[in-house]
A and B are shown apart, each in its own frame.
Chain A
């Protein structure tokens, strides 16, 4: 247990350490959301109709930013070798890294998601469901993204490779996440979409560590 909490603390410190990764992700998210009205035109009706969905799609893109460093930096400096030599399996280490990614990156993004969404014209009553959907989706973004990050180890231009591998797998999260918010806004049944979102994220959290560990071992050999 102490090994896992030590790893979690290290991962959080690295995420928040020099460079301030999560702040960049948030700034990118806000920047992306600012471009949208410029492209769509300033009509409030038009914007408020697409605001919740667009905010969620922008969230998915912003979640990609810090994935490249998730395993790459440990791979480059030899720390990944040592992570395989702990008493705990590499699968657990990978899961902890993704959880830390969720806490350090996903949570701040989820907290500003309603701000972005409302700034785009969404109704303020959607704020709570937006945070919940963004948090649940963020868990999936972190674990699915982790698979891409592990597969791209050692590749040149790994960041782009991660995006290409991972974006299609983000689709269900965006569909159910944005769907839950839209349904809630329209007064429709929103719980099934949210349940699917949570289910996909939890499935990713359960299965991805096996894939990540296998990809890491393959990159090391």
Chain B
């Protein structure tokens, strides 16, 4: 079980543009970090670099468990969730099919899947095609992955943007429960996170 994420001297470049350099960050279990910064400062890129989708120009991202470092492939394949603007949901498939597929691909069990449906109040949406869902409903379906396949590190990119006030509160409880169980949260946000979090500013 992952209990620490360490980012050291990270520099990211997109195209010709240097987004930031020398970014260091230490995230321990039970902790949440809110990444802030202007549009285009590199918050999303930082999350994608942690997920291994972008290779950093310099610096390193490492994952640890109590007895030592975890292989990056293992950590990324079994230990983290990435929830971005694009939710990976196919518009022509039903909510149940999509959630079921992603939960299995990301290593979740049937019990976890039922819990996710309950936690995000998805029951009435399950039979609907994804294209018939509103932006907020789609986001809830994407968020359900976090519960449907339990993994310690959550990388969240503006997770609450399309949610209504009651669902924001609900998601706040979800995040708190995750932190209480020893989870780690790294979230790019513009508004404050609904859980106690350290703020790290990305970019100048």
Q: Which residues of A contact B (CB under 8 A)?
A: 2-3, 6-7, 9-10, 13-14, 17-18, 73-74, 76-89, 217, 220-221
Contact = CB atoms under 8 A, between A and B. Distances in A.
Contacts of A85: 51, 76-77, 80-82, 106
A3 B100 CA distance: 10
A161 to B, nearest CB: 21
Contacts of A84: 51-53, 76
Contacts of B105: 3, 6-7, 82-83, 86
A221 B107 CA distance: 24
19 contacts: A3-B107, A6-B104, A6-B105, A9-B101, A10-B93, A17-B93, A18-B92, A73-B90, A77-B86, A78-B85, A78-B88, A82-B105, A82-B106, A84-B76, A85-B51, A85-B81, A85-B106, A86-B105, A220-B54
A89 B86 CA distance: 21
Interface of B: 48, 51-55, 76-78, 80-82, 84-90, 92-93, 97, 100-102, 104-107
Contacts of B76: 84-85
B93 A13 contact: yes
A184 to B, nearest CB: 42
**The 8 A-B residue pairs with the shortest CB-CB distance in the complex, in nearest-first order:** A78-B86, A79-B88, A6-B104, A78-B88, A82-B88, A18-B92, A86-B105, A87-B77
Contacts of A77: 86-90
B106 A86 contact: yes
A82 B102 contact: yes
Given A79-B88, A82-B82, 10 more contacts: A10-B93, A13-B93, A77-B88, A78-B84, A78-B88, A82-B106, A85-B51, A86-B107, A87-B77, A89-B77
Contacts of A76: 86
Nearest to B102: A82
